[in-house]
Structure 1
Amino acid sequence: MHHDHGDDGQDPKEKINYKATFRLLYGLIKTRKGPFLVAFVYMVSATLLSLFIPMIVKYVIDTAIPARDPRALLLAAAVYILTTLLFLYFNYLQVLQLARAGQDLIVDLKQRILSHILSLDLEFYSSMPVGRLNARVQSDTSTLYALFTNTVITIVNDALMFAVVFCVMAFFNLKLTLMLIPMFPVLALFGWIFVKVTSPMFVKVRKIAAEIPGFLTEQLNGIGVLQAFSREGDASAKMEALNQKRFTADINVELYTVIFFLSIVFLHPAATAAVFHYGGRMVLDGKMTVGVILLFVMYLGNLFEPIFRFSEHLSIIQRSFSAGHRIAKILELKPGLTEPPRPHYLTSVRESIDFRNVWMRYKEDSGWVLKDVSFKLPRGKSLAILGETGGGKTTVTSLLFRFYDFQKGHIEIDGTDIRKLSLGSLRAAIGLVQQDIYLFPGTVMDNLKLMDASIPDSRVHDAIRLMGIEAFFKKHPLDKVVKEKGANLSIGEKQVISLARAMVLDQEVLVLDEATSNMDPHTERLITTAIKNLLKHKTVIIIAHRLSTVRNADEVMMISGGEVKELGTHDELLAKGGLYAKYYRLQFGEGE
């Protein structure tokens, strides 16, 4: 089981694991080297064309104008226009190629994160708010999209531009070029200080950015409770406090970014002034032409442009490594429950489900949730489980699905330990009808088929007929639109649809957690009829809350404090006059 869930509420003092994050980012781009390489070629072509423009200006100033040659001026103008058009064309190709490659990469990453999250067990979800998971899949991947479609390839291109410009400047005047070198260590120092100071700030920004959608999701999910207890103001105040925290954190980051950027910007006019002063003196001494000074001034723009961009890229890089660090932490989590090395595949339950002396606890240092639980459920029979809240009823059914593992004892299906069964085949064979029923947006038919278009309509109609609930689906036709979470249906109506869905999906074993809510007599009768007919066709384990269900079950198990207190038929346990009889009289009334 997990002991560290990679909580996305990342500690601002936590250091980013750059090695793991780089490994993730490199792994993503490595499989798409071709498309990114094509984009890089387009970018380099555009860059080299842009570097050709100052040479055209130098030619006009130093050669065409002094020679008073109109044809040379016309040729220079034509070459300038052609160079600019080619520059724009290659820029267009590069942007298009990067957008395609970046979208492909991010779609793949989102799918990878989602698939991995879905493979993790329930313990992970119990400690991870839905809003934070949504932030991983949406917000953090969007940050990485900016990194891959702009930043990485631009930095490589800018490094190339910087090197080429420096070499061209050195070719035209080595002495003047060497005079510019002292500014580069200053730039490196500024960059190092910026990364050192802002790294924890970016972690803090990402932490708060994840908290906001998480908080919003939780509040919207519980909007009914908030309104019932008039707590809208409290929720609004907390949201305002979170937004203020985000605002303050963003402002602090932007403040340091602006200071860093302005420090670099100042170096550009300083370098230009140096070229004017020392270059001008060389022109006066006849050691250099005016065209070379203009070329140097224009190339200084090309030289500083990558540096300016890098100051902006540093912000994106910091955000991206923070986002990548959090994604990597999620992807590094291992499921607490894994497939066996050589799994058996469950096709059907031919004989029975056996719990033998099962002990279970959630953590090594916690108490036992189940203690020496044993029962046998033959194929085609039903077992009703009763007991107080927290007594272990739901844990028994969770173990059958292998949502959690047990520490001692055996759970077997047809004599095979469920830990040797393929998880997929085990869960495919067992249906689950929960108290908290989730219905998807769509039609009633979509929900009965669980969005599986391969299920024929005839199977749905057969299931409804077998369960004897045709009247319900006359009132709620199969083409009726169901809102998200079944918002336009009552709890009882949702349970009827959920029970019918269990029959449609044709899973041999069914685990049913009955709803405890009071329902109108008509819906109550419908559900009673549906469950009674399910019991005829399925092997069923029921966490029971209805008198009719308890009476119709083949066996009843009374569980308390994680222990099986009594096991037998309804009549046997009632005649025994023990814990079940007391619970029965308390729950259902002595005269029932």
Structure 2
Amino acid sequence: MSRHLPVASPAAVRAAVLGDLRADRRAVVIIIVVNGLAAAAGLIGPWLLGRIIDTIQTGGGDVLGTVDQLALAAVLFTIVQAVLAWWALKVGYRFGERTAARVRERFLKRALALPARVADQLPLGDLIARGSTDASLVASTLRFAVPEVIVAVVHALFLIIAVIILNPLLGLCGLVCLVGVGTAVRWYLRRARPAYLAVAATGAELADVVASTAKGSRTVELLGLEQRRAETAEAAITSARSARLWALRLRSVLFPWSDVSLALPVVGVLVVGGGLYLGDLVSLGTVVTATVFLRQLVGPLDTLMLWIEQLQGAGASYARVEGLTGVTGVETRPGGPAKIIDGDSRGDRLRVENAHYSYTGVREVLRGVDLTVRPGERLAIVGMSGAGKSTLARLLAGLDRPHVGSVTIDGVPVADLSPEQLREHVVLITQDHHVFHDTVRDNLRMVSPDATDEDLRAALEAVGAGWYTDLPNGLDTELGRDLELDDAGAQQLSLARVVLADPHTVILDEATALLDPKTARRTEQSLAAVLHDRTVIAIAHRLQTAHDSDRIAVMEAGELVELGTHAELVSAGGVYGKLWRTWHAEPEDPPP
């Protein structure tokens, strides 16, 4: 799979935006209508100002009384405009909050719906950046841009229409002077999308480098790779800086150009209007009113210019958030999603036939593996480091698909199962675990929402997590705030989730590696008792685990070389027999 997640096309982004607008169409209609009324009210003030000037200039009658009435009306309409604008912004911000929540939830659902084998191969930093930085930018934009842009657009349209109706010649002059703004925007938009996509992509790459380096810090230190990782990080920082400077150069051209262009309509109307006034073709009040209209136009156009710049970054982020729908690798059998033939958990049969697999496409990690896992049995997979044990576990769990051969459960390819079916039938547990900053209860109930407190305590007891009895607030203790679990406790919490999930087949790959040998064996025995009618496949790094299993599969150099019970393999004197005698002779320091 590519190390870069896909990005949604402009058409897909537009469709997503329209979908979000339709989902809350009532609020959108209210925003447009109220903004229209606010813009209309805002036009009355400049028009009344022109009337005041013309009234004073022509004189006659009760000039002061007329001026007072016009001034009072202008003040009232200004207040009405302010109230309507406030109402529109309030509705708009609420709309933005709801839409932002919808975008975040949609992204989370798509991420959780990915098959485990696909999600496991995604670039971590890019995925984190999309779910945090990009989603936050989209949320912020929806929260503020929609109401402010709609206000600006409606206000600008009303002002342009008003000045044209007031005097077509002055209105045409103002529009011609706006050509500079249009040219600046067109120049900018043609270059902005790739620039902001590059900013987001390089930022995600930098996050990926930082996350992977932090996650593998022990390996980096052990192998002396500090300098290489530092160089990789420096290269990522340089790329991110170059992308940001590219976007900054575009802004440094757009804003000065637009600032000059926005002043031209006012200058043009004053010059042309002055000439028309001297020729007695328009009144002074008309020229002043048109000038005020075009001066007011600077405000909404300036707002639009600012948002045009910010919307490019938000649009790139929106494309990245929506791009998760384009993640490939979710293949299913012809004829629809795969289904388990036998719904009885005790009837599921895992079968590996002539499986070949390579991570790089050059050297095969697995070669011609044939294995049938009997329903309800406890199978141990042993072998030296690099023999292919964990790779076989990934194939059995559906995280990877063999390049040749098949891995099926009751005849259905495991990798074809939907995430819901896969989690129901096969669960892979490694030494990697995650503790959410939430209560112990919610950390456990995430796999079984209907579980009672008694069920939760029983699951913790089953994996030897006796520490739960000393929690300050019982199951309501918040992990990460009230208590920091050590690695062993976090691993036991992860195993307790397995007990609650009660899958048909459990694959344990170093799942008890962080526990001391005595606790690890007790935990494995407890799990075996709890899952006695389920299939348990254990990658055995401690040969005592293999000794307690029904059968043992021995891997060597990517091939399955031995299969049988402990007694059979020890008697045969092959690879397993040698491993057992070596380990049994040195119980204090067993080989890995």
Amino acid at match of 2:204: A
Shift of 1:590: 7.0
1:45 pairs with 2:41: no
Please, which moves more after superposition, 95-104 or 222-231? 222-231
Q: What residue is the counterpart of 1:82 in the other structure?
A: 76
Within 5 A, what are the aligned runs for 1:280-319?
Answer: 280-319=274-313
Q: What residue is the counterpart of 1:272 in the other structure?
A: 266
State percent identity of aligned pairs: 22
* Cα distance in 1 for residues equivalent to 2:162 and 2:311: 30
Q: What residue is the counterpart of 2:522 in the other structure?
A: 526
* Cα distance in 2 for residues equivalent to 1:418 and 1:242: 37
Aligned counterpart in structure 1 of residue 51 of structure 2, from 46, 55, 59: 59
**Pair 1:441–1:327, CA change in 2 (3 A):** closer
Contact 1:357-1:408 at 8 Å conserved across structures: no
Q: What residue is the counterpart of 1:583 in the other structure?
A: 579
1:30 pairs with 2:22: yes
- Structure 2 alignment gaps of length 5 or more: none
Deviations 1:394-426 (A, max 9, x none): 233333332233455554545666578665234
Shift of 1:332: 1.9
Amino acid at match of 1:574: V
Within 5 A, what are the aligned runs for 1:198-277?
Answer: 198-218=192-212, 221=215, 249-250=243-244, 252-277=246-271
Contact 2:178-2:265 at 8 Å conserved across structures: no
**Pair 1:474–1:485, CA change in 2 (3 A):** closer
Please, which moves more after superposition, 547-556 or 532-541? 532-541
Q: Secondary structure at the match of 1:128?
A: coil
* Cα distance in 2 for residues equivalent to 1:155 and 1:444: 45
**Pair 1:588–1:532, CA change in 2 (3 A):** farther
1:553 pairs with 2:549: yes
Shift of 1:56: 0.9
**Pair 1:333–1:249, CA change in 2 (3 A):** closer
Q: What residue is the counterpart of 2:503 in the other structure?
A: 507
Q: What residue is the counterpart of 1:13 in the other structure?
A: none
Aligned counterpart in structure 2 of residue 377 of structure 1, from 347, 369, 373: 373
Shift of 1:209: 3.4
Equivalent pairs, count:
583
Q: Secondary structure at the match of 1:553?
A: coil
1:70 pairs with 2:68: no
* Cα distance in 1 for residues equivalent to 2:102 and 2:52: 51
Shift of 1:266: 2.5
* Cα distance in 2 for residues equivalent to 1:404 and 1:117: 18
Q: What residue is the counterpart of 1:355 in the other structure?
A: 351
* Cα distance in 1 for residues equivalent to 2:46 and 2:542: 87
Contact 1:357-1:371 at 8 Å conserved across structures: no
* Cα distance in 2 for residues equivalent to 1:152 and 1:146: 10
Shift of 1:543: 0.6
* Cα distance in 2 for residues equivalent to 1:207 and 1:57: 52
**Pair 1:538–1:52, CA change in 2 (3 A):** same
Q: Secondary structure at the match of 2:197?
A: helix
* Cα distance in 2 for residues equivalent to 1:463 and 1:175: 82
Contact 1:384-1:549 at 8 Å conserved across structures: yes
Amino acid at match of 1:322: A
Within 5 A, what are the aligned runs for 1:319-334?
Answer: 319-334=313-328
Please, which moves more after superposition, 134-143 or 49-58? 134-143
Shift of 1:570: 0.6
Q: What residue is the counterpart of 2:167 in the other structure?
A: 173
Shift of 1:81: 1.9
CA RMSD after TM alignment:
4.0
Contact 1:6-1:330 at 8 Å conserved across structures: no
Shift of 1:156: 5.8
Q: What residue is the counterpart of 1:7 in the other structure?
A: 5
Please, which moves more after superposition, 316-325 or 413-422? 413-422
**Pair 1:168–1:499, CA change in 2 (3 A):** closer
- Structure 1 alignment gaps of length 5 or more: 11-15
**Pair 1:122–1:309, CA change in 2 (3 A):** same
Contact 2:430-2:509 at 8 Å conserved across structures: yes
Contact 2:346-2:376 at 8 Å conserved across structures: no
* Cα distance in 1 for residues equivalent to 2:69 and 2:301: 33
Contact 2:357-2:365 at 8 Å conserved across structures: yes
Shift of 1:76: 1.5
Deviations 1:67-125 (A, max 9, x none): 44333222212211211111111111111111122222221122222222223345544
Q: Secondary structure at the match of 2:66?
A: helix
Q: What residue is the counterpart of 2:432 in the other structure?
A: 436
Q: What residue is the counterpart of 2:395 in the other structure?
A: 399
Q: Secondary structure at the match of 1:288?
A: coil
Deviations 1:284-338 (A, max 9, x none): 3333222112112101213344433332232123223322332343222244244
**Pair 1:258–1:461, CA change in 2 (3 A):** closer
Aligned counterpart in structure 2 of residue 542 of structure 1, from 538, 541, 562: 538
Q: Secondary structure at the match of 2:349?
A: strand
Deviations 1:244-292 (A, max 9, x none): 7656654553444243333333344444344333323433333322211
Contact 1:398-1:404 at 8 Å conserved across structures: yes
Q: Secondary structure at the match of 2:371?
A: strand
**Pair 1:536–1:310, CA change in 2 (3 A):** closer
Within 5 A, what are the aligned runs for 1:111-130?
Answer: 111-122=105-116, 124-130=118-124
Contact 1:347-1:429 at 8 Å conserved across structures: no
Contact 2:346-2:534 at 8 Å conserved across structures: no
Q: Secondary structure at the match of 1:454?
A: coil
Contact 1:56-1:76 at 8 Å conserved across structures: yes
Contact 1:354-1:374 at 8 Å conserved across structures: no
Amino acid at match of 2:435: L
Q: Secondary structure at the match of 1:112?
A: helix
Amino acid at match of 1:308: D
Aligned counterpart in structure 2 of residue 21 of structure 1, from 13, 19, 27: 13
Contact 1:6-1:333 at 8 Å conserved across structures: no
Shift of 1:175: 3.4
Please, which moves more after superposition, 286-295 or 406-415? 406-415
Q: Secondary structure at the match of 1:371?
A: strand
Please, which moves more after superposition, 414-423 or 232-241? 232-241
